[in-house]
A and B are shown apart, each in its own frame.
Chain A
Amino acid sequence: MSRVRLVNISKHYGPTLAVDQVNLDVVEGEFVTLLGPSGCGKTTTLRMIAGLIEPTTGQILFDDQEVTNLPPNGRNIGFVFQTPALFPHMSVADNIGFGLSVKGRPKPEINAKINEMLKLVDLAGYHDRLPRQLSGGQQQRVALARVLATNPRVLLFDEPLSALDRNLRETLKYNILDLQRRTGKTAIYVTHDQSEAFAISDRIAVMNQGRIEQLGSQTDIYLHPQSDFVAEFIGANNRLDGRILEGGSGERTAVQAGALTLQCPMRPDLKAGDTVAAYIRPEDIAVLKNDDHNYRNVFEGAVEQIIFEGSVAQLRVAVAGQTFRVDVSGTERLQLLNHRGQIQLGFNEVTLIPIQQAQ
């Protein structure tokens, strides 16, 4: 159960910068996820924590011990790969006992541990099975048992569920979280799947092009994205580019985006004249039936398309030259299914993110 710290970690592959000055501080027992698209550097970072890749610069510390130059077998970690990677020529029991047997632990101790682990992952009695006789989900559970058997300081997960089908992913995801909670181990998890990250993490680090764009809880990231990458990568978002208008107060201001004027909360670091991207979440836009509402921003638009997704109806509405995506849930969505023509939209929540002036 270690605290994991990354200090200015970078990785160069020739001229390519895969990981760029990453700093991360994971508290003991915390579950942190590195979330991002392919190629963002999350797996490279994870592998550097494991010792499978050597950082070009920077330091990695477990508690107060610098492990940057230690090989993986000296760090006492547990790495769960994308494929279960169970040793095909060994039984389930031998796989689980592998970590202890290479350390020369006595047989009785190893056997006791194997039994304990099998019970932990709900596979008691599977001692003598071979990996090829197990299903994908069972294999991944044995892989979990295998890493837990060595009592590692840190658990590292490299997209362990991406090779499994949807239903299995749901159950196994919570198994992993459950095991982490019960054992209290620090966990660092890599995935590109948002819902996975949101379901099990304490904090999420959103990564893009080798950097951590934002580190925070689910609510932080979702409700207060700090960059346009985060705003667009996490969930769906409507984006309008515009300028901050004169005459705002300390708390509120107005943004001119094309033909629309948006009323929104002010940010202390912004001033009139700044170019901003204004983001409005589809679920924050309400369909208005009458004037009985409190929305500051009201617009009328023409419905272009209605997509019934089941629990949500997605509307595409053209408002003054822009297309808004509006998500409606609840019973209301059913009433809108056959809507044609004009529609009234209202919203309050607008997130402003400054756009770099120099292009």
Chain B
Amino acid sequence: MTTTTLTKSSTKGAGQARFNSRRLIDLLSHLYIWFCLLLFVAPFLALFNYSLQQGTSGIYTLSNYSYIFGSFTNNLLTSLRVSALAISINLLITLPAAYALVRYEFPGKPLLLSAVTLPLYTPAPVLGLGLVLTYNFSYGLITSIWGLVFAMVVGTFPLMLIPIVVALKDLPLVFEEAALCLGATRWQTYFKIVLPLIGPGVSAGILLCFIIVFNEYLVTLFVAPPSVQTAPLRVFNLVRTAGIQNTTAALAAFMQIVSFTAVILFFRLFGSRYLKGTYLI
């Protein structure tokens, strides 16, 4: 009798120990994830924290934010303007390109794909230098905002192209065939059937393009004319010259908040499916 009880309890104890160690591992795993996530967000949080103060006084105030809407409005508007222009041009060139790549057969497709995704592998300083030289000596775009816009366009072109290509590939051909057989022209088919159905993919491209262009400072540093100071460039210049100011931190934090909100909005509307294969997923 006693032996059985002992055996029972010892197995129970061992079982519980195993159970506990598994729970411990699970707990540690979750902790690790949150620890890493915290590391991602820590720089932002630090900036955010500082942005809410005056100096390091510990008093929390929003005065820095009203400051940025006063002094940095120009920069923010410029950033928005550049983003809007870059996104528009990107849409104009990627929508037809994506359609050609997915729906047509022609030789040299892999090579073409490699060529158009090249911007992703070009370090920003290299692109910046190349463009500033080219603008200066060949195109004469050095004093125009369009120089910056096209620099942004070429840098984010693959990021817009890839989600649209993925969305198009997922769109069964039969929808276009059905529309054609019902009497629609190619244009009508495209605008009434294809475009609405790849909407989420297109939105993913717009989102990615926006995030990169809105926060871009490096190529901008090389290429932007003095009259065009986007907000991130302003942050960079201020940090280098005036050091660490609460107002600069506020601007940086604000940029990140806007970008983060855009991402969250997208996730809410479309889920994470359409961002597969890009940096984000």
Interface residues of A, Cβ cutoff 8 Å to B: 50-52, 71-73, 76-79, 81, 83, 85, 87-89, 98-99, 102-103, 146-147, 150, 156
CA distance A83 to B196 in the complex (A): 20
- Interface pair B181/A103, CB less than 8 Å apart: no
Interface residues of B, Cβ cutoff 8 Å to A: 172, 174-175, 177-185, 188, 192-193, 196-197
- Interface pair A102/B178, CB less than 8 Å apart: no
- Interface pair A98/B181, CB less than 8 Å apart: no
A–B complex contacts, Cβ < 8 Å, 13 sampled:
A72-B180, A73-B182, A73-B184, A78-B181, A79-B177, A87-B175, A87-B179, A87-B193, A87-B197, A102-B182, A102-B183, A102-B185, A146-B182
CA distance A257 to B3 in the complex (A): 84
Q: What's the count of A-B pairs with C-beta under 8 Å?
A: 61
Majority SS at the chain A contact face: loop
CA distance A78 to B177 in the complex (A): 11
Q: Which residues of A are found within 8 Å of B174, using beta-carbon distances?
A: 81, 83, 85
CA distance A102 to B183 in the complex (A): 7
Tell me, rounded to whole Å, the shortest Cβ–Cβ distance linking B103 to chain A: 13
- Interface pair A85/B178, CB less than 8 Å apart: yes
The residue on A at minimum CB distance from B177 is A52
Tell me, rounded to whole Å, the shortest Cβ–Cβ distance linking B179 to chain A: 7
- Interface pair A73/B196, CB less than 8 Å apart: no
B181 is contacted by which of A79, A83, A87, A89 (Cβ under 8 Å)? A79
- Interface pair A102/B184, CB less than 8 Å apart: yes
Apart from A73-B182, A81-B177: 4 A-B pairs, beta carbons within 8 A: A76-B183, A85-B174, A99-B184, A103-B183
Q: Which residues of B are found within 8 Å of A103, using beta-carbon distances?
A: 183
Known: A85-B172, A89-B197. A98 touches B182 (CB 8 A): yes
Tell me, rounded to whole Å, the shortest Cβ–Cβ distance linking A164 to chain B: 16
- Interface pair A73/B192, CB less than 8 Å apart: no
CA distance A309 to B153 in the complex (A): 69
The residue on A at minimum CB distance from B182 is A99
CA distance A99 to B178 in the complex (A): 10
Q: Which residues of B are found within 8 Å of A51, using beta-carbon distances?
A: 181
Closest 7 CB pairs of A and B: A79-B181, A99-B182, A102-B184, A85-B178, A72-B180, A85-B174, A72-B181
Tell me, rounded to whole Å, the shortest Cβ–Cβ distance linking A94 to chain B: 10
